[in-house]
Amino acid sequence: MDDLDRRGFLKSASVAVLGAAAFSAAGAAAADGRRTSDAVGFPVRFDGPFAHGVASGDPMADRVIVWSRVHDRGEVPVDWAVATDAAMSNVVRSGTQTVRARHDFTIKVDVTGLQPATTYFYRFAVGSEHSVIGRTRTAPAGDAEHLRLAVMSCTSLWSSWWSGLGHVADRDDIDLVVHLGDYVYDFVDKDEQIRSRDRFADLTMPDNRDWRDLAECRRRYAFWRSDANLNRAHQRHPWAMVWDNHDLDPEFGNELTIPGMGRVESSTTVHDTARVFYEWTPTRPPRADGSGEPLLVDDGSYPAPADPLLIYRRLRFGALADILLTDTQSLLPTYDLPVDSSHLKGDPSLLGRRQFEWLSSATEESMRDDVRWRIIGTQTVMSPIDIPDLGKPGDLPKFGLSRWSKYPAEREAIADHLRSGGTSGKRIRRNIVLSGDTHTNVGSDFVGTAELMQRYESGPIAHNPRRGAQPGNPAAGTRRATVGGLRDAAVAVEFAPSSMGRGGFDDQIGSAIGQSGRPSAEAATISLEASDAILSANRNLQFMDGTEHGYGIVDLTHDRAVFEFWWQNKYVQNSPDVLGFQMIAWAENDRSARPARHTDQINDVRHFGLPTRPTHA
């Protein structure tokens, strides 16, 4: 969701319970003391050539991408090595790649010949100077008993101390980190000035404002990677990533007034921002044919994307799960790219025909191949979660939580496909939608709008009995008090952990009541009332909290999927990790159980007599 749409939604939600309120500017906060080349120099994390650390991503059963960047050395040969031990004594793969200016001196290697479901260690070297040692893990092949994902989005350095990323880095039980977009941000939110390199003293400095050109866009990624927690989270786990609007937006704009800078023309294009995303992340490009299949590079050369604006792709994790990462950003009208919507007979398309047909065929093929779970990663909430027109009871909702509300025909087509099974005629079950962007914690059934309005009923609402990480939030969110009745129309479950920092109801309401830039019990109370109203108006919504921030865990076995909301106080360094809420989806129907268990429905674990207790590997 772009910022204007999100602010409109949050305003609609909070005005219903708050009424008109005055605006107050956010206060500045302290710098975090990260190391820099000089007072306002190029941001780095480490001394030496590998100043930005290491990363890995897009693992397959026999290969994985490893990444680093050479700082301030020019085009030099870089040695790389992969070993089975942290001491790097048992090296199983190695090679050399020369970094090039056209790739911003980044090194990306598609390391082949690895064993499935295996932990490896890797590092880089220029002469006798070495990078830190990274850890990664390949995907399983064939049967797999367990898969554990960390899920996050909207990682705004200015808006949070990123304690959650530190906790993710500290965990040894994560197979993959899934980042669903807005990895970097182009400008500071005026309500969320938590930290900066210089306490926001000089807003003209490139690290405190929007980028103006390709070089400044690249610098933003360097700035992000200068944070210790983000750097370690990349160092310790493989990632799978997609972009969203703040990653791609080429236009110059700021919420803060930049002294001495009026209207600035940016030379950046969307092809530039997509190019930088590929340069600075361990993302494996898909093949240029639109198949969503991975680009495989066996000769150790740089895996450059043939089409930098193509990112949707499929990751296979044995017979347990297929992960289908989609692109719901680049075909929005703001980028003025051609969109084929011929599959919708005149209605607009968010995916485009090629991606829609890929998603349809991939889910159908996955079900036919007896893959247990299908995980659809999307930048924005897919479930219809809307603010209804209260003056006209019974009308369809008119204001959506996400951009999907503007593409109802395509959303309905996806629901219809999962229900009908496409050409197979067999319903596609055990579907999980992972989404970001909303800056709100959401657990929901994904139901087509027509089915939702005609034959779907949930239980009454109640408050979460668990506290949040933010002070003054003793009842963190609104849930369903019971499993409810008629929910068979659901075709997937949706799990959307809140942002890793960027503000939601909490910051918007805090700004409106003059309490921005800090925890507010009053804002948390109003946020809870807004969640009450939204759950009451949206029967498919099973949980919502608009105050807490952090990441999610998805814990998969053959029998069930468990979803955990992990929260931290974003205003405090080294904030504890708090398990705020836990939900479950069952892999098979069991109507003899009490309460009955159903596929493609997400519920509070306590409805089934289970304790709210962290899963672990």
**What pLDDT score was predicted for residue 400?**
62
Closest residue by Cα to residue 540 from 414, 453, 410, 428: 453
Closest residue by Cα to residue 290 from 274, 273, 269, 305: 305
213-247 residue pLDDT tens: 999 999 999 999 999 999 999 999 999 999 999 99
C-alpha distance across the termini of the chain, in Å: 34
| Burial call 408-446: b when 16+ CB within 10 Å, e when fewer | bebbbbbbebbbebbeeeeebbbbbbbbbbbbbbbbbbb
| Strand pairing category for 603-604 and 578-586 | antiparallel
Domain ranges in the chain? 3-608
> Cα 592–593–595 angle (5° rounding)?
120
Cβ atoms of 444 and 493 within 8 Å: the answer is yes
Distance CA 140, CA 320 (A): 9
What's the DSSP call for residue 138?
P
**What pLDDT score was predicted for residue 387?**
58
- Look up tokens 């700082």; give the residue: 71
**What pLDDT score was predicted for residue 252?**
92
Reading the block at residue 390, the tokens are: 């209260």
Neighbour tally for 507: CB within 10 Å: 29
588-598 residue pLDDT tens: 999 999 899 99
**What pLDDT score was predicted for residue 566?**
98
**Residue numbers of the chain with a pLDDT score lower than 50:** 4, 6-7, 9, 11-38, 388-399
**What pLDDT score was predicted for residue 370?**
97
Distance CA 277, CA 229 (A): 20
Dihedral of CA 305/311/186/273: which sign? positive
Q: What are phi and psi of 509, to 5 degrees?
A: -70, -40
| Architecture field, domain 3-608 | 4-Layer Sandwich (3.60)
**What pLDDT score was predicted for residue 4?**
46
**What pLDDT score was predicted for residue 401?**
76
Model confidence, pTM: 0.93
Helices within 421-520 (DSSP H only): 449-454, 505-512
